[in-house]
Amino acid sequence: MAWSIGRRVIHLVLVILIVTFATMMLVDRVPGGLAHAILGDTATQEQIDTLNHKLKLDKSYAARYTGWLGDVATGDFGTSPRTNRPVLDTIRARLPVTIELVVLTELLAFMLAIPIGMYTAHREGKRLDRLWSLISSALIAVPSFVLALVLVYFFAVRWHVFPVNRFRPISKGLFDNLRSVALPVVTLAVAEVAVYSRVLRADAVTTMRQDYMLAARSRGLSPARLMFRHALRPSSLSLVTLGALSVGRLIGGTVVVETIFGLPGLGSLMIDSVLNSDLVVVQGIVLFVALVYVGLNLILDVTYGSLDPRVRSATA
């Protein structure tokens, strides 16, 4: 067990090194050079040289990479030459909104997907099951930015139920805050509900064929008790894995909804930085998200055995 986790850690550290190395390589491919991209066409050669020196671009590639890694290891993600703010501070300022979005989306998705998944498994092959299968594949197919605009059109423009482009922090009141993130959360949750409910349904259908489920049914338990007390837990392993790994996809998704709904989170920071050629920040965000994602994977690998004893004996 310790050996396999150790190997996993080495593997993931290598992954992080490759990701950072690749983003470093991209910096060198910026058309006209990074300093030129930041300062614009009016910059003099002297200004470019000073900035190159400040960003250590005049050093060799290896020296720059090891230097940057050293900085990152001590918690210094660099400083944006545009805003003169440390990148990590900027990320930290924007992070709460993105975390709120991801957490609320996961909550909503699980709250809807568990009953739907269990119900469709219970009614396997019946009309409602087939209908949901059709609806869920349609929901998965709708691009998130299209869905967001449809929701904005009906709920904000036509019916004025929710505000657009006006984010309220929690400090301004919980209700207003929730109202301002409602549409973005629904946008993100729709595809997740579709995927989660299908995954749960598939596993629950397998569970229901087990002997102990037959035994429980023959004891005359009600369908609800049967599904939620007996079938849910053994069917939830894929769902839990998927839920944890979706965090990465959701962070990608926040790029779209934060831009559309004007939320000050990590995703809109990413787009703003790209449009302003603030590439030091882009680099910082990529590293930060990769670290979070890889960390999540590691936690998942380690806790897998405690979630399901069957896995523990299988991999040992």
Partner 1 sequence: MALSNDLLLDEPPRANDIGTAVSNLAAPDRRRVKRHAPVLVWVAAAWLVLLVLCAIFADFLPIKGYARPAGPLRQAPGWHSVSLLGTDAIGRSQLSRVIYGARQSLTIAVGAVSIGLALGGLLGLLGGYFRGRVDALIALFTDSVLAVPPLLMIVAVTAFLERTMLTITMALALLAVPTYVRVARAHTLTLARREFVEAARALGASRRRIIFKELLPNVALPLISYVFLITASVIVAEGTLSFLGLGLPPPRPTWGAMIKDGRNYLSKSPAIIAVPAAALTVTVMALNIVGDHARLRYEFGRAR
**In the complex, which residues of this chain contact partner 1 (CB under 8 A)?**
11-12, 14-16, 18-19, 22-23, 26-27, 29-31, 124-125, 130, 133-134, 137-138, 140-146, 149-150, 152-153, 157, 191, 195, 198-199, 202, 238-239, 241-242, 245, 248-249, 251-253, 255-256, 259, 270-271, 273-275, 277, 279, 282, 285-286, 289-290, 293-294, 297, 300-301, 304, 315
Which string of b and e fits 32-49 if b means at least 16 CB within 10 Å? Answer: ebbbbebbeeeeeeeebe
State the minimum distance, in angstroms, from the CB of residue 126 to partner 1. 11
Residue type present at position 200: L
Residues in Cβ contact with 200 at an 8 Å cutoff, skipping those fewer than 6 apart: 113, 114, 117, 118, 121, 235, 236, 238, 239
Output 104 or 148, the one with its CB closest to partner 1: 148
| Least distance (Å) between residue 239 CB and partner 1 | 8
The dihedrals phi and psi of 287, each to the nearest 5 degrees, come to -60, -45
Question: Closest approach of Cβ 111 to partner 1, in Å?
Answer: 19
Tell me how far, at minimum, the Cβ of 169 lies from partner 1, in Å: 24
Instruction: Give the other-Cβ count within 10 Å of 228's Cβ.
Output: 14
Nearest in space to 193 (alpha carbons), one of 147, 224, 150: 147
Residue closer to partner 1, measured from CB, 50 or 133: 133
How many Å apart are CA 81 and CA 277, to the nearest integer?
A: 10
Separation of alpha carbons 88 and 76, rounded Å: 7
Q: Which is nearer to partner 1, 115 or 248 (CB)?
A: 248
Residue 171 host element (H or E):
none
CB of 75 vs partner 1, minimal distance in Å = 20
C-beta of 149 vs 216, nearer to partner 1: 149
